[in-house]
Structure 1
Amino acid sequence: MSPREPRARRQRGALESLGAVVLGFESIIVFLGGLVVYGLKVLPFGIEPWWGIVGGVVMAVAMVAVAGLLRHRKAVWVGWALQVLLLLGGFLVPALAVVALIFGGMWAYATIKGAALDRQNARRAASPDLSNGE
Structure 2
Amino acid sequence: MRTLCSSTLISEAMVIGFAALVAMRLSHVSAATLWSVSGAAMLLCVLLCGVLSRRGAVTIGWALQIALIASGTIVGMMYPLGVIFAGLWWASVHYGRKIDVIKAARAAAPEAAAQA
Please show how residues 63-102 of structure 1 align to structure 2 within 5 Å. Answer: 63-102=45-84
TM-score of the two chains, using structure 1 as the length reference: 0.75
Q: Over aligned residue pairs, what C-alpha RMSD do you find?
A: 1.7
Aligned-residue offset at 1:32: 1.4
Matching residue's letter, 1:37: A
Return 5+ residue gaps in structure 2 as ranges: none
Aligned to 1:107: 89
Does residue 116 (structure 1) correspond to residue 98 (structure 2)? The answer is yes
Q: Secondary structure at the match of 2:77?
A: helix
1:33 to 19, 43, 46: 19
Give 1:58's aligned residue. Answer: 40
Which structure: larger Rg? 1
4+ runs deviating over 3 angstroms: none
- Separation in 2 of the partners of 1:97 and 1:41? 15
Equivalent residues of 1:37, 1:53 under 8 A apart:
no
1:49 to partner: Cα distance: 4.2
Distance apart, 1:112 and its partner CA: 0.4
Quote the residue 2:9 is aligned against: 23
Contact conserved, 2:48 with 2:57, CA < 8 A, in 1? yes
Contact 1:18 1:110 in 2 (8 A): yes
TM-score of the superposed pair, with normalisation by structure 2: 0.86
- 1:9-62 deviation digits (Å, cap 9, x = unpaired): xxxxxx00111111011101101112222221244xxxx343112211111111
The structure with the largest helix share of the pair is 2
One-letter amino acid of the structure 2 residue matched with residue 73 of structure 1 = R
Distance, in Å, in 1 between the alignment partners of 2:100 and 2:61 is 18
Determine helix, strand or coil for the equivalent of 1:93: coil
Unaligned runs of 5+ residues in structure 1 are 1-14
